[in-house]
Amino acid sequence: MIDLHSHSTASDGQYSPSELVFKAAEANVSVLALTDHDTVSGHAEAEAASKKAGIIFVPGTELEIQWPTGEFHLLGLGLKTPSMQLLDIITYLQTERKARNSKILNKMQNDGVSVTLEQLEELYPVKTIGRPHIADYLVCKKIVKNRQMAFDKYLARGRPWYVPRAGADLKEAVNAIVSSGGIPVIAHPLSLYVSWGKIEGVLQEVFHSGVQGLEAWHPGARVAEAQRLEELAKKIGFFVTAGSDFHGEKVRKDRHLGHTAGDRKIEDRFWTEELLPRLKE
């Protein structure tokens, strides 16, 4: 099995980069991409652990892209040396994420929920605090019953504590990934919140912006949707990837290393036939 989308404590995952690698080895994953949100800080640790575990390590990242609806995440797979352009984008995104968290917490405090960023960082020892952690805090304080209710009532778009996210420009992010020796891939495209009737045209534009791959197989998609996305990707000209988007059992207990849509094991073809040939170009 392989896995081309995973997260560690370098962003918002449960396990450290080395712990993640060893868990992947226990799950019989032979190729693992670490794609932490808006950072490359976990690569050295994960690469060293991968050598010990006998796993092929694929250095990656997952960048937030400015998008009017839903969310647009861009994977950079097979990064060699992060360019200054990529590091500048990462710095910008991390700064904006912190500013967004502060605005959300201010809204909460104004409504009588006393919580600080320092408290959240102590409760959740990850590098990237985000809305899921705020939602978990609301569950912990019994303000809501579960994470989904926290989003539905307070944190989602149109709700009282929602703050729009900032993202990088798509073409600039593509250039930053390519200049770092990597390959740009659109992650979980259903998160764009574009209807099936319009998604082909939107993905055509994404392809012409320089994005080369499409993550058709993701746990957020049903098997039939993943198959449809793969067919669409091939029609447009993308190569196809698959990942678990694993963050850890405490974060998403329904996601497992080496498994994707429908909890299917990720086939080796997504590495040997899809990504690997392009990394060798």
Instruction: Say what the pLDDT of residue 12 is.
Output: 86
Phi, psi of 63, rounded to the nearest 5 degrees: -100, 140
pTM of the shown model: 0.91
Cβ neighbors of 251 (< 8 A, separation 6 or more) are 12, 13, 14, 132
> For 119-157, how does the pLDDT look when each residue is reduced to its tens digit (9 = 90+)?
888 888 777 788 888 998 999 899 999 888 999 999 988
DSSP 183-243: EEEE--GGGG---HHHHHHHHHHHHHTT--EEEEE-TTS-HHHHHHHHHHHHHHT-EEEE-
Residues 206, 200: Cα–Cα separation, whole Å: 10
Quick check: 245 pLDDT over 90? yes
